[in-house]
Amino acid sequence: MNKSIIGALVGAAVLAAGCGGAVRQLDQFAVEPSPAPSMGSPPATGTMSPSPGSSTMMPGAGQLKEAAKVALDAVPGSKLVSIESEQNGKLWEVKVVGSDGTEHEMDVQSGKVVKGPTAKQEDAQVKAKRRDLVAAAKLDYVQAADKIVAAVPEGHVTELKLGTENGKGVWEADVVTPDGTKHEVMVDAATGTVTKKNATS
């Protein structure tokens, strides 16, 4: 075979091989898009940004206890008898009873008293009954809250108050679970026994 023909064939083969490689490289660029510019770290899987105000609705009774302590410090020697959250847990309405049976009301927000304490004007008989109720309660608000959280583990305690049921002292609580269900829980203030637990909505 003529050398010039052989050279031409070899050259054509090399050229074809080179073109094939270039085509393959172009195909590679077509199927491998360049990375998108970084937009920051994506949120962790399974997490959601809290809706406005929802960050205050933490499970348990930690916030209730904190607000109660602030209120009790405002009236030295007092005992808590009622605490209720308002504004999605941002504000707590608290009632404490002094050693003489006088009830003091106040609002607690962000770790401080923002309104009150205001002493309730009542006669001696009412004060004596309230004093007896507080004295008969073997469980304080902290122990009662712990019993309630144990009864509804995922719940947020929104209200806790000392009252009477069939002549006995009881701690009554409202607890809200993450699905929005409200539960009523009652604890015997003398024994610590949970005597009632039911969903109301």
pLDDT attached to residue 42: 37
Which of 131, 101, 105, 125 lies closest to 116 in space, CA to CA? 105
Query: CB–CB of 108/71 below 8 Å?
Result: yes
Q: Kindly state the greatest CA–CA separation across the chain.
A: 130
pLDDT attached to residue 199: 86
Which of 65, 82, 195 lies closest to 142 in space, CA to CA? 65
pLDDT attached to residue 17: 46
Which of 105, 101, 170 lies closest to 129 in space, CA to CA? 101
CATH number for the region 57-199 comes to: 3.10.450.40
Q: Which residues of the chain are under the pLDDT cut of 50?
A: 1, 3-55
pLDDT attached to residue 88: 77
pLDDT attached to residue 57: 60
pLDDT attached to residue 23: 39
- Domain borders along the chain are 1-33, 57-199
Q: How far is CA 138 from CA 64, 101, 135, in A?
A: 19, 17, 8
**Around Cβ 60, how many Cβ atoms within 10 Å?**
18
